Structure formats: structure tokens, C-alpha cells
Amino acid sequence: MPLTQDEIKELHKKSREIRKQIVEITYSAGGGHIGGSLSQTDVLVALYYKYLNIDPSRAHWEDRDRMILSKGHGGIGWAAILGDKGYFDKTLLKDFNKTGSPFGMHLDSLKVPGCDASTGSLGHGLAIAIGLALGARLKGKNWHTYVMLGDGECCEGSVWEAATIGAHHKLDNLTGFVDRNKLMIDGPTEEITTLEPLEEKFRIFGWESLRIDGHDFAQIGDAIEKAQTIKGKPTMIICDTIKGKCVDFMENDYKWHYGGINSDMVDTAMKSIDSYYQNILG
């Protein structure tokens, strides 16, 4: 069932909150992968606040849906959501990156409740997700496995190795997302190494392949719901997004893949986020 206007409004409010937290954590942590954390936010918010079958009070509940952030550098954005969902005391996030903190740039599955796999080294998450999806089938379980890849990550050969195998096993209990913000550390993806046509590539590899605006909740919801109905193959949803989304001085600037911000920048960023949501929410 498509998301209602009320649901979409609530998801926007949550995204606003998460984006502000991302800015705060980036500030207190002394730096972070803020650009990609902001680009992935809406898809993750839709998953965590609408679609995932999870129980944060039981992080290891066997029947939970699994979520792998293969683009593990989005850890700040992911942790903000996990904390907000109640997997842990979110005041702990002020210690992000601090010595001895459970929270580093790339989340550790043994230290962060709700983190289903330790990622960060790109090109690993899809294979782990395939193992989890196959595991669900073997155990006769209904959990769904979700995995989010970075677009630059799709340069890794192991992504395509895994894509081949995921299709071979007809894993319709597996849904992937590519956070297609079109920028990697050193610049635009298409200038560094061409990734397009990404949607067609996954289709040729045997996946149901969709392309959406990754900041449009109606499209995000429709795509996730469509993926749930696809039988006999996994689904990859290419989400066109904007790196640094909602922070005007970061948007579409590859230099904000990773960066630190001072208090003035925090103020500017918060104003920019408010202004964006003012337009949407009124």
C-alpha cells in the first residue's frame, strides 16, 4: 500500500531530525563522512520507521529483518538512526570517534546493537547479505535482508561477483539499494570511472532493477513494496540522491565526502536543513 501523505510527512520530520543529528555528531566527533550520511538518510529512514520488521529491545531477535550498510562509511548516519530507534542510549553518540568509544566511523557489529555486520571495507556487504538471505531460506525463516551499497562501491569487482551469485540463487528475500549520489572521494564517479548504466547492469545480472529519486518517500515506499512482491530474483533499487543533501554548502560537492565542521558551519547547516523542510512541511 503506498505511503499516505501523513506517513510521508512524518518520515520527512524524522529525516530532518536525523540529518540534524548527523550534523551534531560530525561536529562533536571532529569530522565524519557527512556527505554520504546525508544522501542515504531518506532511504534508511523509510526502512527503519516504516518497513523493517525489527525490535530494538531485542537486537538479536532471530526473526528480525537484517540491514547491512555495505557503504559502512555512512556509519554516523546509521548510528543516529539506531540510537533514535532505541538500540542504545543515544547520548553515547557524543563520544563518536573518541578513544574507547563503541562508535567509530565504520560501525562494529560486536559493539553496536542493531548493526548486523561490520562493514567499511567496500565490496563486502552484498556477499554477507547473500549469506543472510540464503541462511533465512535454509532455516525456513521469513526475515528479509536489506543491504545498501555506495555507488562508488560498485567499482569493486566483488559487488558483481556477489550480484551474479545472488541472482543465481533467486534470492527474492534480498533487496539492495545503491545510494547513487554520483560522487566518490576523488570526484564525480563518471569522471573517475564510468558506472552507468547502473540500473541496466543489475538487470543484466539477473536482478529486478528499479531507479528512483532517493529523497522522494513516495517513490522509496513504492519501490520497497514492489521489491517485496518480486519472486524468483533479488531486487536492486538505484536511488538517485544528492551528496550532502539538505546542507546547501555541502550539496553535490565531493569534498564533503568526509569533513569536519566548526560551530558556525553547524549553525549554517541547521538553518539550511530547516529551510529545506520549511518548504516541504510548511
Partner 1 sequence: MAEGMTWSIEEADKLTQAEIYGDVLCQLGDKYPDLVAITADLAKSTKIGRFGQKFPDRFFNVGIAENTMFGMAAGLAQAGLRPVVSTFAVFTALRSAEQVRTDICYQNLDVKIIATHAGISFGQAGTTHHCTEDIAITRSFANMTVIVPADGIETGNAVVAAMEWPGPVYIRIGRGFEPHVHTTQDYGFEIGKAETINDGNDITIICCGVTVLHAVRAAKVLEKEGLRVRVINMHTIKPIDKDAILKAVEETKRIVTVEEHNVFGGLGSAVGEVIVESGKACAFKKLGLQDIYSIVGYPEDLYNYYKIDSDGIVETISEMMGKKIEEDEDWEDET
Interacting residues toward partner 1 by CB under 8 A:
62, 66, 108-110, 116-118, 121, 123-136, 138-139, 141, 158, 161-162, 164-165, 168-169
The rounded distance, in Å, linking the Cα atoms of 257 and 255 is 5
Residue 107 C-beta: closest distance to partner 1, Å: 12
Residue 116 C-beta: closest distance to partner 1, Å: 7
Q: Which is nearer to partner 1, 159 or 250 (CB)?
A: 159
Biggest distance spanned by C-alpha atoms of the chain: 53
Q: Which is nearer to partner 1, 123 or 152 (CB)?
A: 123
Residue 181 C-beta: closest distance to partner 1, Å: 24
Sign, Cα dihedral of 261, 193, 200, 231: negative
DSSP readout, 212-257? Answer: EETT-HHHHHHHHHHHHH--SS-EEEEEE--TTTT-TTTTT-GGGG
Q: Which is nearer to partner 1, 164 or 193 (CB)?
A: 164
The rounded distance, in Å, linking the Cα atoms of 184 and 252 is 11
Residue 150 C-beta: closest distance to partner 1, Å: 16
Q: Which is nearer to partner 1, 171 or 269 (CB)?
A: 171
The rounded distance, in Å, linking the Cα atoms of 275 and 15 is 14
